[in-house]
Amino acid sequence: MATTSVTRSAQREIDVRRSVRNQRINSAAIVFVLVLVSIIVLWPIVHMVAAAFTPGQSIAQMPVVPFTAGLTTEHFTHLFNNTNYLLWFRNTFIIATSTALATLVLASLGAYVFSRFTFTFKKSFMMSLLILNVFPSFVGMVAIFVILLRIGGLDTLWGLVLVYLAGNLPFTTWMVKSYMDNVPRELDEAARIDGASSFRIWARIIVPVCKPILVFLGITSFVTPWMDFIFPRMVLRSPENQTIALGLFSFVTDRNNFFTTFAAGALIVAIPFIIFFVLTQKMLVSSLAGAAVKG
Amino acid sequence: MSTLTAEQLGGRAAIPPGPGRAQLVDPRRVRLLSFLFMGLAHVTVLKDRVRGIAFMLVELVFLVTLPTTLGMVGGLITLGEPQPHLPIRERPNSLFMMIDGVMILAVFAIFAAFYVVSVKSAAKLADEINTRGFPDAHQKRFSAVADRAFPVIGLAPTFVMIAFFVVVPLLFSALVAFTNYAAPGNIPPANTIDWVGLDNFRRLFGGNQLWGSAVARVFTWTIVWAFLATGTTYIGGMLMAVVLKNSRLRITPLFRAIFILPYAIPGVVSLLVWRNMLNGAFGTVNRTLAALGITDAAIPWLTDPNLARFTMVMINLWVGFPYFMLLITGTMTSIPAETIEAAKVDGATDWQIFRRIQMPQIVFQTMPLVIMSFAHNINNFGAVFFLTGGGPNVGDSVTTSAGATDIMVSWIFNLTVNLQQYHMASVLAIMIFLIIAPFAIYNFRRTKSYREGEI
């Protein structure tokens, strides 16, 4: 009896020691992985930031160790004085804002109708929304080009807004509709009994109640145009109608490499994005996970 | 579109349909009238003038424009005869004929839908009148009528946008696959386009050595790429999520913030930075390797076909792992802590807890998003275009413009923007349809609305 209990306690001690040692190895491995991945993640980012402040023009002139070849802000002044950067910024801002606003108005109206009314062809319409959702809109690129040519929307900002809007609608309408289905009907029915018109109910009850999903979708539709390339490239031709993505791309084509100017321009756009994502990471996690669970 | 039936509220059964009650309108007569001319039944028997006149106007406009619209459909069939003696501006533009024809077909479909709606609405209205009597003056006020029109007004912009900017383009590009719309010989307005049947399909699938092998290569790489891109980012993301979860360091949130950076930086920016850094001759990567004394050779990261494919997958891992990391972190927090505590009490090791409890949960919950991510990667234009531009060239690239790292969508982009080979691009677009269709169906069946029988 006694001997077995002694061996047992000895055994336990060895177990504890082993697990402490394992834990140390584990922690060391974890720290190693974290640091290694951080270096890989940060390396190109640091190089980009450094390039924005380093004298010179192309990537070939950039030092191997960032920030070791002098500091300058000339790329930023060059960007604002000698290129159309501000114009690109303004164009992109107009496109992104109008797309987001138009998407929200149309999607919330459509979603309200889908969620609260019954009508002929409702099922087939909803089915086509879902199916169109999956097809990337640029497979119809040539046709969109010709349609815009036909209605005079080529090389205009509103033409591009129409393209984005149409591309957004199936998905956003569906998302808002699903959200609205979970909002109790009593809310708007009470208003209807009080004699409110459908439009009033939409504006005063539905839109405020659906604010969370509308904010989320508003942000996503605002963000996409900033970095989209295919459609601006196709629709916008004249130099005064370019967007940020087109402009940045033009700095680093194969023929001429203005990497430092590109880095300066990219930095200005990327910083708001980064601040936003880092600040909202908690919300991002929950909304992503929500999408995973609910579908 | 929609009937004008607003949602009916309580008080529906105010007057029960008594068995001996005389019918106010004859349903068969209503049906006949509504079939005869759109809105006729509304105006005459049903006394719903506003809606009836609206319907009649729709049919009137349709009939008046019918000669023109039929001509447009005719144009879609002939696509115009070549008339080289005319100045270019006056030659028949097959492209416009085609797009007009497709749009008119969409208008015809909408008109047919209107007809169905009007007939159904008449029948429903007749039914309502027979059970509850004619609507009183209160319900006929302008505001009430306008309110009943709300669903139509609310949905019309969405409907028009989707019809003309999503459905018509898809139909159009499907049709282009059966024409010879391509440079140099058939580009409107100088020349016309003709229907060529299945010629393009024959050329791509076996008829032509160069094109056939390019299709096979690009198709295979698209699928392999989608598997590798999804798999690496998923595994990488899961690994980092688990490591962060088990890290007891106080600065763990800092690491988490760092790892989100690739997700936060716009893809165009980070991919273009990588493209420059990976440049074989003067890129930072090769110069760093040389400075560290690892190798002096210029490694052709983006110019050797197989190495370029490998680089593409690795850079995509850099760009894409934070998405799954965030996602999996979220799912892990939703696993009840008691389950894990219980396993610990039973003596399970960390590995066992991960392998037997956490991983099955994570995989189960994130599977739908993995599948959608696979579909997204099939169409991941940016990952190819900004990093490698589709290159490097291989044997058939000069003719087909398909480089070693091109996937279907980037090839379509090259074919339309650079080579103007619209007919070939459309065949590829149809192929993408077929590849994506299972995902569309999957996505569809997964929705709550489908599972609850709403659609």
Domain boundaries, chain A: 2-74, 79-251
Residue B152 scores a pLDDT above 50:
yes
How is domain A79-251 classified at the architecture level of CATH? Orthogonal Bundle (1.10)
Report, as an integer, the average pLDDT of B192-216: 86
Nearest by CB to residue B282, choosing from A60, A173, A233, is A60
pLDDT class for B142, splitting at 50, 70, 90? low
B21-75 pLDDT, tens digit each: 567 788 888 888 888 888 888 888 887 888 888 888 989 999 999 988 888 888 8
Beta-strand ranges (E) seen in B215-339 are: none
Q: Which of A258, A91, A40 is nearest to B261 (CA)?
A: A40
Q: Kindly report the number of other CB atoms within 10 A of residue A250's CB atom.
A: 16
> What string of H, E and C letters represents the secondary structure of chain A?
CHHHHHHHHHHHHHHHHHHHHHHHHHHHHHHHHHHHHHHHHHHHHHHHHHHHHCCCCCHHHCCCCCCCCCCCCHHHHHHHHHCCHHHHHHHHHHHHHHHHHHHHHHHHHHHHHHHHCCCCCHHHHHHHHHHHCCCCHHHHHHHHHHHHHHCCCCCCHHHHHHHHHHHHHHHHHHHHHHHHHCCCHHHHHHHHHCCCCHHHHHHHHHHHHCHHHHHHHHHHHHHHHHHCCHHHHHHCCCHHHCCHHHHHHHHECCCCECHHHHHHHHHHHHHHHHHHHHHCHHHHHHHHHHHHHHC
CA distance, residue A121 to nearest chain B CA (Å): 7
Backbone phi, psi, residue B15, to 5°? -115, 105
- Chain A interface includes B382 (CB < 8 A): yes
Backbone phi, psi, residue B132, to 5°? -120, 0
How is domain B203-451 classified at the architecture level of CATH? Orthogonal Bundle (1.10)
Q: B166 and A233 in contact by Cβ < 8 A?
A: no
Nearest by CB to residue A140, choosing from B172, B244, B256, is B172
Q: B270 and A44 in contact by Cβ < 8 A?
A: yes
B212-263 pLDDT, tens digit each: 888 999 999 999 999 999 999 999 999 999 888 888 788 888 898 899 899 8
Residue B304 scores a pLDDT above 50:
yes
What's residue A187's pLDDT? 84
Nearest by CB to residue B248, choosing from A27, A226, A248, is A27
- Chain A interface includes B434 (CB < 8 A): no
Residue B4 scores a pLDDT above 60:
no
ipTM confidence: 0.84
Query: Mind giving me the DSSP string for B48-94?
Result: -HHHHHHHHHHHHHHHHHHHHHHHHHHHHHH-----TTS-GGGS--H
A144-201 pLDDT, tens digit each: 888 898 888 889 999 999 999 998 898 899 888 888 888 888 888 888 888 888 888 8
- Find the range with the poorest average confidence among B8-12, B92-96, B230-234, B240-244: B8-12
CA distance, residue A265 to nearest chain B CA (Å): 10
| Residue limits of CATH 1.10.3720.10 in chain B | 203-451
Tokens at A130, concatenated: 């879902």
Nearest by CB to residue B260, choosing from A60, A167, A278, is A278
- Chain A interface includes B211 (CB < 8 A): no
Report, as an integer, the average pLDDT of A14-30: 76
What's residue B316's pLDDT? 95
pLDDT class for B8, splitting at 50, 70, 90? very low
Mean pLDDT of chain B: 84
Report, as an integer, the average pLDDT of B427-449: 82
CB contact at 8 A, B390 and B410: yes
Report, as an integer, the average pLDDT of B306-310: 93
Q: How many CA atoms does the CB half-sphere of B254 hold within 13 Å?
A: 9
Beta bridge partners of B195: B179
What's residue B9's pLDDT? 39
Tokens at B233, concatenated: 């980012």
Report, as an integer, the average pLDDT of A239-245: 89
